[in-house]
Amino acid sequence: MTDPLPYLPNARPRRLRRTPAMRRLVRENRLHAADLVLPVFIREGLTEPAAISSMPGVRQHTRDSLKQVAADAATAGIGGVMLFGVPAVRDAEGSGATDPDGILNVALRDVKSEVGSDLVVMSDLCLDEFTDHGHCGVLAADGTIDNDRTLVRYQDMGVCQADAGADIVGTSGMMDGQVGAVREALDRNGSSDTAILGYAAKYASAFYGPFREAVDSALTGDRLSYQQDVANRREGSREIALDLAEGADLVMVKPAMAFLDVLADAARMSPVPVAAYQVSGEYAMIEAAAANGWIDRRRAVLESLTGIKRAGADITLTYWALEVAEWIRDA
């Protein structure tokens, strides 16, 4: 916004920065624990939590440790958790994603039994963790992604997750028509109260690297044919508009840091809540720089999240959710 009196000789914006109390009074954006969602990994077959080397402080969880994290999240007052399953066995169709006794569906039931309605329980609706080729959809004979066959798998996956207790399913595969297809399947199943978080503008980013370790990704090659080109801003608005038209209850931009312009566009155009995902690479960079003493860790974490909030995010998925909730409470 342009200063309405840019040439006034006695204009002194610093008056409002003079003391901590004054800065607090006029602060434009504030972080709230309820706006934060914690992504959590549950791995089949673990007997104790396993550290993720590229994401210090983040672990793959057992069923028991997952329930404890969910209870901690509810106590901390954060908005929700987003569950990612890591199966022991994978196949070309990602069959474990639609097995009622598969790790993600079991985890959803565990968390709902632990926290009930005290926490919003979200689940990742994508095949990449479950396929032996690591792609987000079913492969055609020529090795490309078969968009429409994948939509059928997403429909079945959405129904399984709703039946397991998911409050929100996150359509993260970037298949054309995925929100509409899943919405139709949920409604047909009698799960019309299950909400859809459309990963509306999801880019083929280099910042997903540590996540690949977190889910033990089997991917070879890349996802450039279905995730968005990082150079495209207008395309992000088109994808958001399509998800809204298909009935998304929330929309998300992923990653956050390098796409704050797209996030601001989403906030301007969306009539539904807008989320952003502060992805694994964003987390890892700050942790690595802080470990080397190059930056103030707490200030950098809070500044990064405030930037996402300032750009227009109503909800932020971040691996620091529990820690930041504690900082906010103690501030």
CATH number for the domain harbouring residue 189: 3.20.20.70
Residue 254 CA to residue 23 CA, distance in Å, equals 31
Helices and strands (DSSP H and E) totals, the chain: 11, 10
- Domain-located, residue 8: no
Residue 24, class by beta-carbon neighbours within 10 Å (0-12 exposed, 13-18 middle, 19+ buried)? exposed
pLDDT above 70 as % of the chain: 98
In a domain, 205, yes or no: yes
Task: Please indicate, yes or no, if residue 122 is contained in any of the structural domains.
Answer: yes
- Is pLDDT above 80 for 9? no
Among candidate residues 58, 77, 65, the one with its CA nearest the CA of residue 286: 58
Residue 65: give the domain boundaries.
Answer: 30-330
**Does residue 254 carry a catalytic annotation?**
yes
Q: For residue 24, tell me if it sits in a domain.
A: no
d(CA 268, CA 264): 6
pLDDT value at position 170?
97
297-320 pLDDT, tens digit each = 999 999 999 999 999 999 999 999
Domain assignment present for residue 21? The answer is: no
Gap between the Cα atoms of 162 and 164, Å rounded: 5
Query: Where would I find the H helices in 225-279?
Result: 234-245, 260-269
The pTM assigned to this predicted structure is 0.94
pLDDT at 218 over 80: no
The answer to whether residue 7 sits within a structural domain is no
Task: Evaluate whether residue 86 is within a structural domain.
Answer: yes
- List the catalytic residue out of 67, 112, 254, 309: 254
Cα distances from 239 to residues 4, 26, 121, 170, 235, in angstroms, run 36, 35, 25, 15, 6
Domains held by the chain: number: 1
- Is the pLDDT score of 3 beyond 70? no
Asked if the structure places residue 160 within a domain, the reply is: yes
| 99-134 pLDDT tens trace | 999 999 999 999 999 999 999 999 999 999 999 888
**pLDDT per position as a tens digit, 129-184:** 999 888 888 999 998 999 999 999 999 999 999 999 999 999 999 999 999 999 99
Question: Which tokens belong to 317?
Answer: 């998925």
pLDDT at 217 over 90: no
CA separation for the pair 147, 197 (Å, rounded): 19
The yes-or-no answer on residue 202 being catalytic is yes
Q: Whole-angstrom Cα distance, residue 54 to residue 255?
A: 17
